[in-house]
Amino acid sequence: MAGGPLGRHRTRKNSHTHEHFHTEPTMNTSRNFGSRSIGNGSPCYIIAEIGINHNGSLDVAKKMIGGAVAAGADCVKFQKRTPELCVPKDQWLLERDTPWGRMTYIDYRHKVEFTAEDYAVIDRYCREHGIDWTVSCWDEEAVAFMEAHFDVPFYKAASASLTDLPLLRAMQSTGKPLIISTGMSTMEEIEHAVSSLDQEALLIAHATSSYPCPPIELNLKMIQTLQALYPNIPIGYSGHEVGLATTYAAVALGARFVERHITLDRAMWGSDQAASVEVGGLGRLVRDIRDIEGAMGDGVKRVYDSEIGPRSKLRRVRSSEALA
């Protein structure tokens, strides 16, 4: 796939052709998501994060899945919580306005949770349309729920869960790869989490946890910092910004996978909608990422067939004369 090196490239010069040949790094940075490989020359894996933007509607979720399929995304992702475990008790009875009227926060959290029957519909719909699906688990009961009912290719831990080692270990104990996000986290917290987990089944997503995130706070060079720190772990990007340009930059910097929240309409009700990409924009994102991957090339200088005509017409001094 496109992107920066995961290790130092050594070059050697051929004295006859003056081409430079790059020796690829030998470390293994691939992870398998079912039949898909992430990293080491594979196309960037594109995750369309539905999260709870469906607002509890299975019909809306299916429309988002259909949009992700049409866009060419590789995966759709949801969020699975056990509200009584994830919502602090002092917030349970706080009331808020919702599209369903005024209700307590704990009732709202239940309203946007899908049941096993709902996820069975999602599972079947994704299989029929040839797209992966998974969830971010926010508690151990959510992991047990998923393992009891479904066979997703990997799990994702939200940035808020980076310091929740029991939860991270519960997801890894399933034997499936785990993506951890690094928003709202210090380097010490990241290093502690990574050192506490099985790195052979780990992927790391650089992220900044503000919604939407201003470009000045995206700090995309952290992708390269994480690559240098963890050369054997695929590094990706989870973006919460407005627009697409900075996600393209993340891919050019070497992100092996990207995740963006998606929505049918950014004006829909919900805290993540404003930082989401509408499904039409997702199609442009996927298309342009694939163009960027092709444009990155292999770093070996060559004269392309399309250059032969302009070269013969425009160059005053031929190569043999210039090198004499």
Work out whether strand 235-239 and strand 257-263 pair parallel, antiparallel, or are unpaired. Answer: parallel
Q: Quick check: 131 and 65 in contact, CB under 8 A?
A: yes
pLDDT for position 182: 98
Instruction: Give the residue extent of every domain in the chain.
Output: 37-322
- pLDDT-above-70 percentage for the chain: 90
Mean pLDDT of 31-44: 87
Strands annotated E in the chain: 10-13, 20-23, 31-33, 36-38, 45-51, 75-80, 95-98, 101-104, 132-137, 155-157, 178-181, 202-207, 235-239, 257-263, 277-278
The Cβ of residue 313 has, within 10 Å, a number of other Cβ atoms equal to 7
Q: Which of 65, 51, 56 is nearest to 113 (CA)?
A: 56
The CATH code of the domain at 37-322 is: 3.20.20.70
Query: Which residue carries 């399929």 as its tokens?
Result: 69
Q: Quick check: 263 and 277 in contact, CB under 8 A?
A: yes
Query: Which residue carries 């930082």 as its tokens?
Result: 275
The Cβ of residue 48 has, within 10 Å, a number of other Cβ atoms equal to 30
Pick from 21-25, 111-115, 303-307, 316-320: least confident: 21-25
Give the residue with greater pLDDT, 26 vs 137: 137
pLDDT of 65-124, one tens digit each? 999 999 999 999 999 999 999 989 999 999 989 888 999 999 989 999 999 999 999 999
